[in-house]
Amino acid sequence: MTKTRTRGDGTDTPALPVELPEITEPSPAATDTSEDPHAAEPPPFTVVGIGASAGGLAAFEAFFSAIPRDSETGMAFVLVQHLAPDHKSILTELVKRYTRMQVREVEDGMRVEPDCAYIIPPSHDMALFNGTLRLLEPTAPRGLRLPIDFFFRSLAQDQHERAICVVLSGTGSDGTLGARAIKGEGGLVIAQSPKTAAYDGMPRSLIASGHADYVLPPEEMPAHLIAYAAQAFDKTTRPVAPSASSEDALTKICILLRDKTRHDFSQYKESTLRRRIERRMALHRIDRQGDYVGYLRQDPAEIEALFGDLLIGVTNFFRDPDAFAALEEEVIPRLFHGKPAGATVRVWVCGCSTGEEAYSIAILLREHLETLKQDFKVQVFATDIDPRAIEQARAGLYPSSISSDVSPARLARFFSEDAQGGYRVQKVVRDLLVFSEQDLVQDPPFSRMDLISCRNLLIYLNGDLQARLIALFHYALNPNGVLFLGNSETVGEVPTLFAPLNRKWKLYSRLERPRGAFVPTSVMRGPLPPASTDAADPLAPSTASRHKGKLDLRALTEQALLRHCDPVGILVNGRGEILHIYGRTGQYLEPAPGDAAMNVFAMAREGLRRDLTTALHRAVTHREPVRRPRLRVKTNGDFSRIDLTVRPEETHLDGILLTDFYLVVLETAAPQLAAPGTTASGTAGDAPTTGDGDNARIAELELELRAKEEYLQSTREEMETSNEELKSTNEEMQSVNEEIQSTNEELETSKEELQSVNEELATVNAELQTKVADLSRANNDMNNLLAGTGVATLFVDHQLCITRFTPMATRLIKLIQTDIGRPVGDIVSNLVDYTDLTDDVHGVLSDLLPREHEVQTRQGAWYLMRIGPYRTLENVIEGAVITFVDISERKRSEDAVRAARAFAEAIVDAVREPLVVLDADLRVVSANRAFYRHFRLDEADTVNRHLFTLSHHRWDIPALRDRLQEIQAQGGSFDDFAVEQTFPDIGARSLRLNARRVDPGEGQPCMILLALEDVTSPPPGDHLNQPMPRPPRPGHDRPA
């Protein structure tokens, strides 16, 4: 029995019999921090999901044929293919031919077992739940269903890091989103090599998403699967506890990651970090972590791949709908309550990934804004460590499968269908958001936030770092601000920082912390100890002694120095990007408005930016310390004097010298001693300053002028460099624009192809037996057709060798069955006076133009011979077809017609009265000799000309025109119609005309037969107007 589930908006969508659970790890902040989110014992074997569409049968054959027949894989294989819902599938029988393992068509509730293959039945969606396959009735319309994505997502939720998916041949992008879910759980993702796929749409989509671990032809996949499973899941080969060498290797891996990506993973939960590293090692079949360190140093691309694996990017719109419902009802109205009109509501979404969660919150805020009578501003800052995810989030383009997470009403209001397919977030929502790349652990936080959402991120960090982040969120929130965490996360045992608003859905309200507590600038730079239950100060140093058993004197000293001493150090690179901050920088730096930027120039306060720019530029150029004393910097409306020093620094990593480091030191300037008789401001009472005071002022002005000149010079050099870079960037952008236009055209074409191909095409291609039966039936039909028509037909190939002939062909060419394969020119024919058959066939194969000849047999029978090219269904020329149609009867008919025509023409010519035959347009078809002779006309000047234009239009007689047009339109005839007219050369004539309309037969145009009788009475002695004497017939003597 199959089931459906109902969405919150009342529409039915495919669902599991019981809601698929989200990842439900115990909260590390509330329980043992060493516990892993996926620490539950995995199932005893691996489940491999295989998705395919058009062209999938050939890929299935190659895949299963490559599985060793003499060994067991220990894995279960689940095949999900696009099948026509109204067509019985024979895929199960076909797959059985290629493997010895058991192949079963899935029934609802069937439990998966190792070394078995399971086939999805037609007209069903399928999911894996607690190791059991469940069938569901699809509710999406045909062409919009994504059964592969649906199954892969359930596989990820059920099997976690043991999930494996394979995407084979097919059109479209089904399987990409499901593979993303499996990759997010730490599973393995394999794509078929596009070159080996009959339809490469699905594999290319997966490869372009960056989630594919292997790109292989199907026949190579089983070996990689078996090797990966043996390496990744064979517990007997792993040590029970990490050794000293593995700890050292883990530290080195974190150093390599930090050097390559600028992100520190040393405080990630060790079990999570090790599991991801072991996954990469299994992919490359590396046994020891020390060897993997060497591999990372040799291949920087592997560092990027590991970095991508460590980023958890599983998200969707309104994930945990009940949690978002609680947010909408209990928190969103609270954010606006008590704020004056025109105020700004500020929201920070940490770890936003590809933006689904940030857009979900923005939609809730937009919906609430529309219910308010006052105007408010809303800013949603969405940040993530992954620049690729941020770019996708900025684009706001999502696949059509989001319709399963977003209600139809919200889809209509806040999304628009994109020409490339899928949905794009509308501007009314996107204008609320600012996306930026930010490392939550290292970069300074936002401040004055009303709501912070950090869901399903803390579970991957160790307990100390979680506590620091909780304190940082407390700092970033306004009083009574709200913190929104994931289902498996809490704020820990820190009652003085947050109070629960809704324990079930992890909503917490900010509490005021004790006065004098330390304010962090970032998690890594501020010395934030672990959270405690001490009501006086949760961040007190005594916490460290309780948790670690030993007082951390270094941390205590650093805290005291930062509280009571002024020096502030900022480590930057040559471009001014902040790498590390030491001390409190609020007096000198502030976040710039707009997109978040971790650049020291953008964050420098008024009065500091110019000198900081020139000093860093000089330090980079000359590699020497640069000092700028007594700079006048504005802070909160007041000016203060500071000393600026920029020092080049360098360090070594594994023997490599790293030099792109510069330490910016900011100190409060010492008070300048006033000249005798002057005040601190440089005056003596109200009298002007003189002497040393003037000299000091002049020197100060000269110093400022020199600094401005250096600043202008450095600015000029940077501008020239920027101009060159802009030119290069402009050329690159033009090239990219052309590529995008080309890509858009290709996408439009692909969209049309996808609409026409769809799932039925995949089924037809997969089930070849139906096509074989059709071809066999077509072959029988052709044989009977050729035999039944009586047309002699001969087939030859490019070499003019006979490939086939019909029985009738033996009457014209002396053929027997054994002549198949012989050149047609070698066979004796029964044709008379025709020896050009070979040349004509060569001509047809050369220019592909058909040829026709009328040929006669020795028995006197006539045939119409046609020679044409032989074209396959793929429009490939593979020879020629020669047909002979019996036209003997037609020839006899033509001879009879010619004889009858000659007889009729002889009779007409024998008549002494002029006769004219007109067509339907009253043009002359023919005339007898009496007509030409009597009116002095030539045949060339008469035939095909209009009657009324003859003899210089003398026949254009209105009465005659009317009578002829009446006959033409209505039929009938007229007799003895009298006409008098003067004609050239013969003068005035009186004529009596008789006309008849003649209808030759159905489909033939009518004709008019016009007879003329000259009844002119000639005057006495006038011989000019006498009719001309009839010329003598051939063979008779002329009159004397």
Residues that are catalytic: 53, 82, 174
DSSP annotation of 138: -
Q: What's the burial of 418, exposed, middle or buried (CB within 10 Å: 0-12/13-18/19+)? A: middle
- Calpha distance 362→429 (Å, rounded): 6
- Calpha distance 917→943 (Å, rounded): 10
How many CA atoms does the CB half-sphere of 34 hold within 13 Å? Answer: 0
How many CA atoms does the CB half-sphere of 816 hold within 13 Å? Answer: 1
- Output the 3-class SS for 143-207: CCCCHHHHHHHHHHHHHHHHEEEEECCCCCCCCHHHHHHHHHCCCEEEEECHHHCCCCHHHHHHH
Contact between 636 and 607 under an 8 Å Cβ cutoff? The reply is: no
How many CA atoms does the CB half-sphere of 186 hold within 13 Å? Answer: 26
- Calpha distance 111→830 (Å, rounded): 74
- Calpha distance 578→686 (Å, rounded): 47
- Calpha distance 169→79 (Å, rounded): 13
- Output the 3-class SS for 633-668: EEECCEEEEEEEEEEEEEEEECCEEEEEEEEEEEEE
Helices 270-284, 244-261: axis angle to 10 degrees equals 90
Of the candidates 440, 442, 398, 441, the one whose C-alpha atom is nearest the C-alpha of residue 421 is 398
Contacts of 386 (CB under 8 A, 6+ apart): 308, 311, 313, 353, 437
Phi, psi for 561 (deg, rounded to 5): -60, -45
Coil, strand or helix at 982: strand
Which residues, in sequence order, are bridge partners of residue 566? none
- Calpha distance 370→332 (Å, rounded): 13
Instruction: Tell me the two tokens of residue 88.
Output: 């019985």
Distance of CA 245 to the CA centre of its chain: 45
Coil, strand or helix at 12: strand
Instruction: Tell me the two tokens of residue 102.
Output: 């058991």
Is the Cα torsion angle 355, 356, 361, 363 positive or negative in sign? positive
One-letter identity of residue 758: N
- Residue whose structure tokens are 């509710």: 139
How many CA atoms does the CB half-sphere of 575 hold within 13 Å? Answer: 7
CB count within 10 Å of CB 452 equals 25
Contact between 641 and 668 under an 8 Å Cβ cutoff? The reply is: yes
Instruction: Tell me the two tokens of residue 948.
Output: 């009324």
Contact between 69 and 101 under an 8 Å Cβ cutoff? The reply is: no
- Calpha distance 164→155 (Å, rounded): 8
Of the candidates 567, 604, 578, 568, the one whose C-alpha atom is nearest the C-alpha of residue 661 is 578
One-letter identity of residue 895: D
Phi, psi for 167 (deg, rounded to 5): -110, 120
Contacts of 526 (CB under 8 A, 6+ apart): 468, 518, 519, 520
Four-point Cα dihedral 139, 145, 149, 150, nearest 10: 10
Torsional class of 172: left (φ above 0), alpha (ψ -120 to 50), beta (otherwise): left
Count the helix, strand and coil residues of the chain and give each as a percent rounded to the nearest 5: 40, 25, 40
For residue 706, the surrounding DSSP H or E stretch is helix 692-766
